[in-house]
Amino acid sequence: MLEILGKQAKAASAVLAQATRAQKDSALLSIADALENSTAAILAANAEDLQNGKNNGMSDALLDRLRLTEARIAGMAQGVREVAAAADPVGKVLWGETRPNGLQIRKISVPLGVIAVIFEARPNVTADAAALCLKAGNAVILRGGKEAIRSNTAIADCMREAASSAGLPADCIQLVQDTTRESANALMKMNDYIDVLIPRGGAGLIRAVVQNATVPVIETGTGNCHVYVDAAADLDMAANIVYNAKVSRPSVCNACESLLIHRSVADAAIPLLCGRLREANVEIRGDETVCRLFPDAVPATDEDYATEFLDYIISVKVVDSLDEAVRHIAANGTGHSECIVTESYAAAQAFLTRVDAAAVYVNASTRFTDGGEFGFGAEIGISTQKLHARGPLGLANLTAEKYIILGSGQVR
C-alpha cells in the first residue's frame, strides 16, 4: 500500500513542479474554503478522537494538542490563505554569473519533490504541512498518529477534493491510513519515492526517525527550552516572560520547560516567579534552594532537567553564574529556543554568542519561535539541526537548488 502512495506522490510531484503560481494559489484558496465548509464534519471526527484519547488516559496537555475548535479550524484555513498570499519560493534566481569563457550560470530554486511528514497528535499539522508543500511544488505523504486518525482523515479528504477541483492532482496530498509502527518504519526507507522526511513529535519519534531512516531527514526538535533569569534581570519582566513561556500553551515545543535563576536574585525571584506559575497550577520541581524558598516545590531529579514535559510542569534550578547557566543549557538543552532575561548588555551578548540553539532570545518569551511570528507564515516544524535549514521551516526551506548553464558551444 505504501508503495502505491509513493508512486502516486511521485507522479503528482512531476505535475506540481510545472504548476504556475496562479494554479497553486487557486488550489490553496479552494482548500481554505473547503476547510471552513467542512468544519462540522472535521469537529465530529475530532470529537471521536478526543473521546478515544480520554478513554485511553491521555493527559490534558496532549488532549489540548489533539483538540480542534471552530476557531482552530478557522485558524488553519487562514494559515492556508496566508501561504497562498506568500511569494512563490520556486523559480527564484538565487545567484548568477557569466564566466570568462562565456558560460552563463544561474542557480535557481526548485521543488524538493516528495516530502513525507511523520507526526503525532496535532491534526493542524495535516493542513499546515500540506499547504506549505503544495505551495513549494512538492507532493506530500502524511503519516499521523493513531490518536488523531479520524481528524486527519477528515482534513486530508477535504483538502484532496479541493485540490482536485482546482485542477491539481488529488494525490499531491496523501494520508497513510495505517498508523502502526510498521508503516512508519517502512516510510523511513522509501528512497525510491521520498526525497526528504520530516518528523514532528516527541523525542521518541524523532530519535526513531533519525536512527532508522535511510531517506534524507530534516530533524525537527524536541524543545527542552530554558529561561535564564540573570543577576541583572528585571524580575517583573522575568515573571511575565516565564509565565507566558510556560503557561500560554505548555503542550508545544517552544514552551519553557526549565527555569534557571542566578543565586544573587534567588531570594526575591523564586517566590515571585514560582508563585506566578502556581497560580496556573504549574508543578514546580526544584533544587534544594528552590524547595527551601518555595515550599510548594517538589525535589527535582537530574532527569527532570533534561525533560520536555509538554505539561504544566517546570524544572527550576539556582545557578551561581551565567557560565553555569550556559553549561547547564549545553548539557540539557535540545538546541531549540533559549532565553536570557537581563538588563546587562554584556550578559546578553555573552548568552547570544555562547548558547548553541536555533533561536536565542534576550528579554522575550520562547513562545515566539514560530514561522508566523517570525514573518515566515506557516511552518512545517522547527529544525534543530544545522544542515539545509535551522529554526522555523518555512516555504523557502522546502526547495532545493538547481544550476542552469547556458552556452554557445563551449567545450572543456
> pLDDT by residue (tens digit) across 114-139?
999 999 878 999 999 999 999 999 99
Measure the CA–CA gap between 77 and 35, rounded to whole angstroms.
6
Residues of the chain with pLDDT > 90: what percent?
84
Mean pLDDT, residues 208-232 taken together: 92
Phi-psi label, residue 377: left if phi above 0, alpha if psi -120 to 50, beta otherwise: left
Q: What are 369's three cell numbers? A: 519561535
pLDDT at 252 over 90: no
Residue partners of 341: CB distance under 8 A and separation at least 6: 227, 228, 229, 230, 233, 234, 237, 238, 241, 362, 363
Taking only the tens place, the pLDDT of each residue in 296-347 is: 999 999 999 999 998 999 999 999 999 999 999 999 999 999 999 999 999 9
Q: What percent of the chain has pLDDT over 70?
A: 100
pLDDT tens-digit map of 131-184? 999 999 999 999 999 999 999 999 999 999 999 999 999 999 999 999 998 999
103 has pLDDT over 80? yes
- Mark out the alpha helices in 218-344 (DSSP H runs): 235-247, 266-279, 288-293, 322-332
CA atoms of 255 and 247, how far apart (whole Å): 8
> How many CB atoms sit inside 10 A of residue 380's CB?
29
Pairwise CA distance, residues 275 & 312, whole Å? 14
Q: Report the candidate in 353, 337, 169 with the shortest Cα–Cα distance to residue 244.
A: 337
Cell numbers at 138, concatenated: 512538492
DSSP string, 59-109: -HHHHHHH---HHHHHHHHHHHHHHHHSPP-TT-EEEEEE-TTS-EEEEEE
**Cβ atoms of residues 286 and 341 within 8 Å:** no
Beta bridge partners, 110, equal 400
Using the Cα atoms of residue 54, residue 173, residue 135 and residue 213 in order, give the sign of their dihedral. positive
Q: Are strands 173-175 and 196-200 parallel, antiparallel or unpaired?
A: unpaired
Residue 297 is predicted with a pLDDT of 97
- In the sheet that holds 173-175, the strands lie side by side as 173-175, 139-143, 114-119, 196-200
Distance (Å, whole) CA 166 – CA 297: 56
C-alpha 251: how far from chain center: 12
- Listed by start position, the domains of the chain span 2-220+393-406, 225-368
202 has a pLDDT exceeding 80: no
pLDDT given at position 201: 77
Alpha carbons 220 and 206: distance in angstroms, whole number? 7
- Say if CB 339 and CB 325 are below 8 A apart: no
Query: Pairing mode, if any, of strands 93-98 and 391-392?
Result: unpaired
pLDDT tens digits for range 360-394 = 999 999 999 988 788 876 778 888 888 888 888 88
Closest listed residue to residue 116, CA positions, set 11, 215, 223: 215
* Mean pLDDT computed over every residue of the chain: 94
Cβ-based burial of 354 (10 A; exposed 0-12, middle 13-18, buried ≥19)? middle
Identity at 84, one-letter amino acid code: A
CA terminus-to-terminus distance, the chain: 48
What's the CATH number of domain 2-220+393-406, 3.60.150.10, 3.40.50.620, 1.10.1200.10, 3.40.605.10?
A: 3.40.605.10
Q: What's 57's DSSP letter?
A: T
Would you state the CATH architecture of domain 225-368?
Answer: 3-Layer(aba) Sandwich (3.40)
Q: What is the spatial distance between Cα 266 and Cα 317, in angstroms, rounded to a whole number? A: 10
Q: What cell was used for 366?
A: 520562547
> Do 308 and 246 touch, CB atoms closer than 8 A?
no
